[in-house]
Amino acid sequence: MQPLSDIRVLAVTGFLAGPFTSMNLARMGAEVIKVEMPGKGDPVRNNGPFIGTEGKNLMPKTEDDISTRFLKRNQGVKSVTLNLKSAEGKQMFLDMAKSADIMIENLSPGSLTRMGLGYDDLAKVNPQIIYCSISGYGQTGEYADKPAHDPQIQAMSGLMEINGHPDGPPTRVGFYIGDLVTPLFACYSLMLALREREKTGVGQFLDVSMMDTLTSLMFMDTLEDDVEMGLPLRMGNTTRGGPTGLYHTSDGEVIITAASDDQWKRLVVALGAPELVDDLRFKEFHSRVSNVIETRQVIQDMVIKLTRDEAMKILEAGDVPCSLVRTVAEVRDDKHFRDRGSLLPMRHGKIEGAVQGISSGFPVLFSGGEVPEPYGAPTLGQQNAEIYGKLLDIDEEALARLKSEGIV
């Protein structure tokens, strides 16, 4: 299944948000052409560890070694090198844009516009192009020119204020949530723009902001009400809704959810304390919230007497929402994710078959057909001859000249 097999994407992207956007389009069959600076490329190419024919190493051993970060973020895309600061390189890019459907970039706001490669410039040569700019704070507004990576966005969006323990400092979410959720909105919006283009025949400009994305998700909750009522925002491993949260067994931790009266009843019955069903301190949701510390302690006192496996067996038999608190290694090695395709073997553009490590797969199953595994992430400029020959009719001799002059 490759619904985007007729879509061509130009990507001037680096780090994570831009590459994750274009990689998801590539998974759906789009031809994604990643345009990188000659001799440098995406800055992540320099971030180890690296992997190649001699396995995984902290430093590159051969010219074909690629950063595992780059491999994970660029599966299925093609790489060309092009100096966009040169007049000839700029013209080559504009010529490629004539046949592109989508352009994605996540440079500092205005960078490509100042080079004559902004949306208006590309729209002149291709009015149908959809131009997607991803940035920390957006292309407009008082924060637009502030440099930003994921930690700054987590802080500015207020996410850190609600993450962590009540008696501890604001805490960053452990993975790059702003860099990873924003591309999903970008892909969603690109599909909407493609649909609109079918009606109008005209492309458009998409201004995608990491901070807008996280802020919009934050206020799906009642944060402003909590602030007004003086309720604590940081809840650690629990929630305000009664006993839901992390509990210690005699040999590990489990997560238990009891977000409704029915779930509370099933929980205490499963743990052998049916008398708590009608206890006025815990009987209704609002009473459990009012007595949240006591509610949690009652459950903790029962759970600590069990091993992790005993607790899971009892709770699952009682139809109580629960789970183990697992390590990264346990998740990585879980056959469930391999069978569903949400974790895939990592692939290298110049090495046949899988290499050491895993990459994220497409986390949705389609009844209309399987999403094929992407081919490996490319070495720098690996598809120069293919792309420039196909799109710009540049032969080997001309390509050699361009390379000698530092244009590709």
Task: Express as a percent the part of the chain with pLDDT over 90.
Answer: 87
**179 is a catalytic site residue:** yes
Q: Across the strands, what pairs with 51? A: 56, 66
Instruction: Check residues 227 and 243 and name the one with the higher pLDDT.
Output: 243
Find where tokens 């990689």 sit. Answer: 23
42, 65, 150, 179: which one is catalytic?
Answer: 179
What pTM was computed for the model? 0.93
Q: Any residues with CB less than 8 A from the CB of 59 and at least 6 apart, and which?
A: 48, 50
- Per-residue model confidence as pLDDT tens digits over 250-278: 999 999 999 999 999 999 999 999 999 99
Task: Look at residue 232 and tell me whether its pLDDT is greater than 80.
Answer: no
Q: Which of 274, 315, 279 is nearest to 294 (CA)?
A: 279
What integer best gives the mean pLDDT of the chain? 95
- Per-residue model confidence as pLDDT tens digits over 43-91: 999 999 999 988 899 999 888 899 999 999 999 999 999 999 999 999 9
| Full DSSP string of 348-378 | BTTSSSEEEEEEE------TT-PPPPPPPBP
- Per-residue model confidence as pLDDT tens digits over 214-229: 999 998 888 888 888 7
Residues 183 and 181: their CA atoms lie apart, in Å, by: 6
Residues 307 and 247 sit within 8 Å (Cβ to Cβ): no
- Sketch out the chain's domains with CATH numbers: 8-217+336-404 (3.40.50.10540), 245-325 (3.30.1540.10)
